[in-house]
Amino acid sequence: MNRRGYANIEVFLVMVLLFAVSFLIFATVSAGSEAYFNLSGRQDRDAALRIGLSFVDVKLRKNDVEGGIRVAGNPFGQGDALVIRSETENQAFDTWIYCLDGGLYELFARADAQPLHATASRIAAVDHMEIETQTANVLAIELTRLGDEAASGEDTVLSGVFYLKTGVT
């Protein structure tokens, strides 16, 4: 074999080696970015649930008065809602906390008015809220964020147990 034949073989082997190295770099970057996006999505879901549960905690503790907290049916969809009653000298107001279309909402309205979702404020990305009155003074709340099908697909759940001085009506 002549010198030119060896040169062609060397060029071919160098090209194969470069292709193999390029493929390994691409596969490593692809796997790393997929892991990052899965982790980032999980952290976003966890943060949304922590925000939602913290919001509920603050509202419950702030309004823990006799007859101030009750559990009612969600007026806009499925599941339950928290209703927190606050009163001034001549007027009563209800704060509704409920889930609808992937969001945890707060609605502030007069107690004698029909709740209107258009006036509600979105608090956090939460898909479902489960409320359980364990005893007269213990309220368990579970918030769920559905998993992203593109990522792991696992639902994220965060629970809290709230001990109220005055109880739930």
Spatial distance between the Cα atoms of 2 and 113, rounded to a whole number of angstroms: 96
Q: What is the pLDDT of residue 138?
A: 92
Q: Cα–Cα–Cα angle for 146, 148, 154, nearest 5°?
A: 60
Closest-CA residue to 70 (of 96, 109, 107): 96
Helix (H, G, I), strand (E, B) or coil at 144: strand
Cβ partners under 8 Å of residue 82, min gap 6? 56, 59, 60, 69, 70, 71, 96, 97, 98, 131, 141
Q: What pLDDT shows up at residue 7?
A: 76
Q: What is the pLDDT of residue 77?
A: 85
Q: Which residues of the chain have pLDDT under 50?
A: none
pLDDT for 151 equals 56
Q: Structure pTM?
A: 0.78
Helices (H), the chain: 3-62
